[in-house]
Amino acid sequence: MAVLSGTFGQLRVPSLPTRWYENNGYLMVSSNGGLNQMRSGICDMVAIARYMNVTLLVPELDKDSFWKDRSEFKDVFDVDHFITSLENEVRIVKELPPDLKREVDNGTFHSMPPISWSNMSYYLNTILPQIQKYRLLHFQKTDARLANNDLSLDVQKFRCHVSYNALRFAPAIEKLGRKIVDTLRKKGPFLVLHLRYEMDMLAYSGCTEGCNDKEVQDLTRMRYDIPRWKEKEINSTEKREAGLCPLTPEETFLTLRALGISKKMQIYVAAGDIYGGKRRLANIAKTFPNLVKKETLIPRSELLPFQNHSSQMAALDYLVSVESDIFLPTYGGHMAQVVEGHRRFLGFRKTIVPDRRRLVNLIDRYNRRTLKWARFSDLVKKAHVTRTGKPLRRKVVPGFPKEEDYFWSNPQECLQAR
């Protein structure tokens, strides 16, 4: 049995049997996106490498994303544990053989993005022959390259084995994450609020509810200045009413109150700088005085090594989020989904997933005074009875993977025997 070691948990997952195979070649991958997008993609790449019988080079992290984080794999994850904990299932190396390294240095290696949402037959029948032909293949992207469904039970369980046993954070991150959790625990239960209301999120999404004219102009300018963000003309009102915008701090405040969250509860804000600063957090801070962030819990000197490294800072928030009594994300991004899935794995810990479409409708009615508080609160609670991270089946939409439930938000195949 292998001890689950990614987030302080003591749960155990079964190890896979020792596996011997002939090496079919080498796979080099460049992860893309933020921390949790990369995390899930790396786990998928390990599963793909195992089932193609190829050697995986330690993944490269994204250094070209919006955040320009220069962190290497070893800065974020425990690379030695990653390699050794998987050595019976897949060979992972820190360096390529000299001849293949020369190909990389000379830029003569074969590179491609694998097709999104592919099943294992695509990798065995289409990708493997290319690896055998070139000896080395480079994947330019890793996000969402493996299907949510229609994969064997062995594949699905191995994805969990990688995520929840092999891919733990670097020792320094784990140590500080534990300190933050212990500091919170000494004062009682805590709720982690993943308040996705940073400037880049609002600019990218085009969601401007509650922003003044200057802020709207600044957000629009940022969106047009970043070429990789393809959608430029966005109707914020329509998007919000469809439930496609992150909740604003004011909407989040009303949601917390309506759900009956105690005013004494510690609220840990897992986020970067909130757009609009203290002005936008005023209502939450007034009603929930135990509002904290890692920056207010930990001496600046201890956080300094991780600052200016978005992935390392996000890893600290990830660890605290998984360990919280309640996790509430205000937007369904990668962190929200990956943390939700991890919390399910750890025993279906309470995760409140806001029904944003329903919420904004109720909030607008309350603000227009067509709903009294008692009725508003009752409707909010009823809307979330089944949205607390309890056991359920993933929604499957054949042919439309983007409309399905994400595997990493509900890895149900790994929970059935628990």
Please, is 212 exposed, middle or buried when counting C-beta atoms within 10 Å of its C-beta (0-12, 13-18, 19+)?
exposed
Give the pLDDT score at 65: 78
93-108 confidence digits (pLDDT tens) = 999 999 999 999 999 9
Q: 92 pairs with which residues across the strands?
A: 56
190-240 confidence digits (pLDDT tens) = 999 999 999 999 999 999 999 999 999 999 999 999 998 999 999 999 999
Alpha-carbon gap, residue 124 to 17, rounded angstroms? 21
Give the pLDDT score at 19: 63
- Rounded to whole angstroms, what are the CA distances from 189 to 113, 206, 265, 267? 44, 35, 7, 9
Q: Look at residue 14 and tell me whether its pLDDT is greater than 60.
A: no
Alpha-carbon gap, residue 271 to 330, rounded angstroms? 11
Please, is 210 exposed, middle or buried when counting C-beta atoms within 10 Å of its C-beta (0-12, 13-18, 19+)?
middle
Beta carbons of 59 and 140 less than 8 angstroms apart: no
Supply 209's token pair. Answer: 């509810």
Classify the C-alpha dihedral 375-380-383-384 as positive or negative: negative
Crossing angle for the helix pair 35-52 and 334-345, to the nearest 10 degrees: 60
Q: Look at residue 33 and tell me whether its pLDDT is greater than 80.
A: yes
102-141 confidence digits (pLDDT tens) = 999 999 999 999 999 999 999 999 999 999 999 999 999 9
Average pLDDT over residues 343-358: 97
Contacts of 264 (CB under 8 A, 6+ apart): 188, 290
- Long-range contacts of the stretch 83-87 (C-beta < 8 A, 24+): 83/58, 85/2, 85/165, 85/166, 86/46, 86/162, 86/166
> With bands split at pLDDT 50, 70 and 90, how would you rate the model's confidence at 22?
confident
Q: What is the mean pLDDT of the chain?
A: 93
Q: Look at residue 178 and tell me whether its pLDDT is greater than 60.
A: yes
With CA atoms as reference, report the closest residue to 281 among 295, 294, 267: 267
CA–CA–CA angle 334, 246, 30 (5° rounding): 25
Give the pLDDT score at 103: 96
Phi first, then psi: what are they for 345, rounded to 5°? -60, -35
For 169-196, letters b (16+ CB in 10 Å) and e give: bbeebbebbeebbebbeeeeebbbbbbb
Q: Look at residue 6 and tell me whether its pLDDT is greater than 50.
A: no
With CA atoms as reference, report the closest residue to 48 among 131, 118, 120, 113: 120
Give the pLDDT score at 183: 98
365-391 confidence digits (pLDDT tens) = 999 999 999 999 999 999 999 999 999
- Long-range contacts of the stretch 66-73 (C-beta < 8 A, 24+): 66/200, 66/226, 67/34, 67/310, 67/311, 69/309, 69/310, 69/311, 69/312, 70/309, 71/309, 71/311, 71/312
Give the pLDDT score at 67: 72
**Of all residues in the chain, what percent carry a pLDDT higher than 90?**
92
Give the pLDDT score at 18: 54
HSE at residue 21, side-chain half, CA atoms within 13 A, is 18
52-82 confidence digits (pLDDT tens) = 999 999 999 998 877 789 999 999 999 999 9
Q: Look at residue 8 and tell me whether its pLDDT is greater than 70.
A: no
Q: Look at residue 296 and tell me whether its pLDDT is greater than 50.
A: yes
